[in-house]
Structure 1
């Protein structure tokens, strides 16, 4: 599919600006109907979605069903179920200071929004964030990544059958088109991608003081305690790390483990990787590929550099440039200066760092930017609480990995370098809504008590109010 022309972007922006008030005043029933139609279209196009993801990633049908289709289905069902309740005004309770005031929060659409999505989950992420924008009553320009063209075609087909372009417009393009969009005035910009590009998006948003949600990334650690079932923990990490060939923002980026367990850990990684993908993972029907040549070269170069600086291959390590294949790889003794330890890996390579005391592991984490996720494996609740208190991360999962993003009552988001703002479920609806404070005064206005001219009576009244609060 050809890139959206600049003139088409301008026209779509203009018609959406004219239509925003109509969509803003849509009812819960109307919005629910749109979302129900979207859900129906997703489920009826599952075969096309699976085919597209295979063409873009060599992603298996089952992995697509789990990480793309199910994730969207789950999100849409949650929003459909709760949207009427979410849209209602919410009382915040009375105050002794304001006995005559009914105070509540009113949720209104932000208006005209831009969603910029990445290539790593090219069906899930556009649909999940679009669902929240629709639920909140916005008109939306949805900019898809240029690196997943087959999936983009399916996304476009689904959306254009349900929504008119003045409500939801799909934009395809590269840096030129994205830059042109960012120069426009939006009420909210939702961006998912790297911290480096996130800074560019944030700078562009600041020119118009646009509200913003940034879902970024970083080096998300997994920390093993001594008193765990190693095999179980390693299987958890293998699934989370190597699903989608490691191209997941909340995948464990590196593992911190007790040094005395080194031999057992490395042996178990070899065994469980073979159980998962066979003797040659390149032949496994369940293992995806790297999205494009640029990402393949970045990862293969970092792996080569790591080996030359003394990194030891615990498992995997093989590559095939023709297929953009990198085996599920586990390393130890990786130099701290290597890109694998300084940058987010975003691929199927897992370095293991061994520690003697947990204080070393915590210090190692805290020397880096705050991660999007942090994983703790321990049967000791005090150990888990200690790690959580001593670190900072967008989210944490204990004794599993990545599943926190699917919990319907938890927000998804980062902190500082790993993101700003929150998404999914109620938090996604809230992100795309303006939470408007309303104070409804009944009977006597409070200002009457402090009317001019100020007298001794005014002073006594203020003193009395301060005493009872």
Structure 2
């Protein structure tokens, strides 16, 4: 039996959602809050199923499932339910004395039909977080789940079907054929999370209908370690951020740039702290996840093997077990600049380390690559931090920690250029799925009163006066 959604069913529900978007557009804040509360209750009711499904798809530990999948969704729900009336409220814009008769304000309305395409690496957190934002904004949603995480997909389907009508939210499962069909339909908003290469395809499809689009992509997010740091603390932060979810995180540190002054200490610290985290046999650790599928596993092993054959030095790890898609937490150095591990996004538990002799050298390495989704700076010297931020570009920056920026309720999440377009989460997610409509409410005389036909000398004198006033 084909587990994927059949094409004619996608078409039927799509047409139903097109017909119902005006209905859901009119729903007020209280109605949207109520349905988000139902969603929160259903997630709580199925929490154990979520944890068990993630263990089947990734061998992800219960703690990691709660920290990286459930808790962020629960935070998003709480914030949306609490703030939704405020988000939906018309926002006043400063009045201009030059156009004193106009009361200006912004009105937020749903974009309409939305398509959300989600990846496999956080297959509960990302679909649900973007679903929450689109529901809060008042849209209908086609939610395309990754075909590589079938166990959690089944739980998401249970949750969504218990809360929403199909004409409001519909789950689509499938691969290339189903995704291609969806991208051939006209949506008012497309939200895609995935690789830059596929993001270009999605953007091209959106261009056919001039659909609004949000792209959350990736790239090689650097972590740079400068002066005045507690080195052990820094290494522990990097180990957690890099090896949570077996490195399959879009904002994980993709490579480490570290001052050569730390060269004598850093290798031993990685060995000691990784052993403390995962033991002498990390394959037995209950806290270390697995690679999602054979394709990703083979890609990572090939890149690692290539680097070693070219002379790279492995400080820690390097062990692989194909039968269970296990790659040990690996730290590697002495890499050629042209190796895949330094050219392509890794998306796995392999951390390249590059030493630099000057801040200018480190900045040049970052600047030569595409703009990343995240950048991490470790230093208690503010001038160093300021220089890194000033001379680089990234979707976000986190100073003296890693990945915590995505959890802050009042910061946007998103990339820049190759790492993404647009922003998500919290207020920014609501705004991404909403049209920010400009309203000019004329309270006194319309402009046509001054410039009515036929144009006369009086009109010209009025124009000269008006130009002096406006400019």
Q: TM-score range by the shorter chain?
A: over 0.9
How far apart are residue 443 of structure 1 and its match?
A: 1.7
CA distance in 2 between counterparts of 1:336 and 1:6 reads 45
1:112-139, CA deviations, whole angstroms, 9 ceiling, x for partnerless residues?
Answer: 0100000000000000000000000000
Deviations 1:182-201 (A, max 9, x none): 00000010000000000000
Distance 2:454 2:335 in 1: 74
Distance in 2, Cα, partners of 1:267 & 1:85? 52
CA distance in 2, matches of 1:464, 1:404: 51
1:335 CA displacement = 1.4
Check conservation: 2:192, 2:215, Cα contact below 8 A. Answer: yes
CA contact (8 A) 2:227 2:381 kept: no
Determine the structure 1 residue equivalent to 2:404.
403
CA distance in 1, matches of 2:461, 2:377: 57
Counterpart in 2 of 1:449? 450
Write out aligned runs for 1:8-407 (5 A): 8-407=9-408
Return the offset for 1:463. 4.2
In terms of mean alpha carbon deviation, does 440-449 or 292-301 score higher?
A: 440-449
Question: What's the CA shift for 1:458?
Answer: 4.0
In structure 2, the residue corresponding to 1:97 is in which secondary structure? helix
Q: CA RMSD in A?
A: 1.1
Q: SS of the residue aligned with 1:189?
A: strand
Q: Contact 1:100–1:443 (CA<8 Å) still a contact in 2?
A: yes
C-alpha displacement at 1:3, in angstroms? 0.1
Q: Residues of 1 paired with 2:262 and 2:455: CA distance?
A: 75
Deviation at 1:465, TM superposition (A): 4.2
Please state how far the C-alpha of 1:18 moved relative to its aligned partner: 1.0
Q: 2:267 aligns to what SS in structure 1?
A: helix
Q: 1:19 to 1:266 in 2, by over 3 A?
A: same
1:271-306 CA-partner distances (Å, limit 9, x unpaired)? 111111111111111100000000000000100000
Segments of structure 1 that go 5 or more residues without pairing to the other structure are none
8 Å Cα contact 1:97/1:465 also seen in 2: no
Aligned to 2:423: 422
Question: Does the aligned pair in 2 maintain the 1:327–1:348 contact within 8 Å?
Answer: yes
| 1:46-65: CA deviation from partner (whole Å, max 9, x where unpaired) | 11001000000000000001
* Deviation sequence 1:75-131 (CA, Å, 0-9, x none): 110001100110011111200221010100010110001000000000000000000
Question: Across the two proteins, how many residue pairs are aligned to each other?
Answer: 469
1:150-177 per-residue CA deviation (whole Å, 9 max, x = no partner) reads: 0000000000011010000000000000
Q: State the 1:466 CA deviation.
A: 4.5
CA distance in 1, matches of 2:83, 2:133: 12
Alignment gaps of 5+ in structure 2? none
Task: Give the Å deviation of 1:336.
Answer: 1.4
